[in-house]
Amino acid sequence: MASSLALGACSGGQSADSGSGGDGIAVGVLQSLTGTMAISEITVKNAEMLAIEEINAAGGVLGRKITALVEDGASDPSTFAQKASKLIEDNGVATVFGGWTSASRKAMLPVFERTGNLLWYPVQFEGNECSPNIMYSGAQPNQQALPALQWAVGQGYKSYFLIGSDYVYPRTANLILKKHIEKDGLKVAGESYVPLGGTDFSGVIAKIQQAKPDIIINTLNGDSNVAFFKQMQAAGLSPTKLPVMSFSIGEQEAQAMGPRLVEGSYASWNYFQSLTLEDNAKFIAAYRKKYDANAAITDPMVHGYLNVYAWKAAVEKAGGFDPEKVRKAAATLGSFATPMGPVSFAANQSLVQKAYIGRLKADGQFEILSDSGEAIQPEPYDPLAFPGKSCTL
């Protein structure tokens, strides 16, 4: 039975931004508010702040109000590392919520391991990592990329073109996908990468036209997606003509790009706004009341939101704010209710969660085509790509 973590709109409570004196507790909120990743990360920051405000309105954590110290990672890994160090060592925060790209997470990781603090990371990633100083609520590859491939195989697609931003997540996710594509006797028609924030896809599109794949697997991040889909459209390769499966385009990105540009394309996530759950409806209403009546809600926003509530529950179970005790408590919380349904953290500090496949409609929402049924246990190390490796914390 899932326990509730107090989902719902906040009204009349203390602002998450306001100080709370000597009885308060400070946390860090570290997302890209500028640069190529701002299109995706600003609203994750908003969702984290909403959770903090709701918790404060309900009395705080162990009777203490939360003060959120917000920093801008500026879409730059080294900036993320610097700001994480500032929050922990200069500001003395109890924990940090944030990050998006794996490059940003890997840049921050030594800071958290050196200081013994704890990062709550809300975005899908490539696995091949298992740190006691990170709570990984975003999908592992076996909870997003591999369910997407399994679905595509079921649709009869035999030839795959892999495109991504040139950093660790796309390259490692595609390594895993290639291993499974080859195991299934299918074909990798091509593979191309562009710099994060890159906008020139002429060469990539030429390769796609020559390769003639059945489907494209897209691990581009940030506003590179806008240029890619526009240039594909101009080349006569709309998603309805050449299917595209994306791992970083959610409702918000589709809204920003113009839904008709990506209409008919597919995405794999652990959450879609169109999920018909009571807790989801409450979260959507609360977010829209605070920020934007027409806001699109995405998977990383929900993971950012649930991370704050999971930290609160873990602190209360641990009876204090010590990161080592909190992380152990978090891994043994059991199932709790969220906008995406009941979830829990496994012993490897990754989230147990369902996978969904959706097709983007003209209104910017995803029609859910498939789901995993049962929640999927997270596997940080894919056995084909990283044989013999395992996570023990």
By CB neighbour count within 10 A (0-12 exposed, 13-18 middle, 19+ buried), where does 197 fall?
middle
Contact 336, 342 (CB under 8 A): yes
CATH architecture group of domain 3-139+275-352:
3-Layer(aba) Sandwich (3.40)
Which residues partner with 27 through β-bridges?
68
Give the pLDDT score at 222: 83
Give the pLDDT score at 259: 86
pTM beyond 0.85: the answer is: yes
How big is the chain, counted in residues? 393
- CATH class label, 142-272+356-371: alpha beta
Domain ranges of the chain: 3-139+275-352, 142-272+356-371
Sorted by sequence, the CB contacts under 8 Å of residue 211 that are 6+ apart come out as: 159, 161, 189, 190
Give the pLDDT score at 256: 86
Per-residue pLDDT tens listing for the chain (393 residues): 344 344 433 333 333 443 334 589 999 999 999 998 898 899 999 999 999 999 999 999 999 999 999 999 999 999 999 999 999 999 999 999 999 999 999 999 999 999 999 999 999 999 999 999 999 999 999 999 999 999 999 999 999 999 999 989 999 999 999 999 999 999 999 999 999 889 999 999 999 999 999 999 999 988 899 999 999 999 999 999 999 999 999 998 898 888 889 999 999 999 999 999 999 999 999 999 999 999 999 999 999 999 999 999 999 999 999 999 999 999 999 999 999 999 999 999 999 999 999 999 999 999 999 999 999 999 999 999 999 999 888
Give the pLDDT score at 2: 41
In 3D, which of 161, 147, 154, 362 has the Cα closest to residue 243?
Answer: 161
Give the pLDDT score at 15: 35
Give the pLDDT score at 55: 98
Give the pLDDT score at 350: 97
Compute φ and ψ for 193, nearest 5 degrees: -135, 145
Q: Give how far the C-alpha of residue 185 lies from the chain's centroid of Cα atoms, to the nearest Å.
A: 30
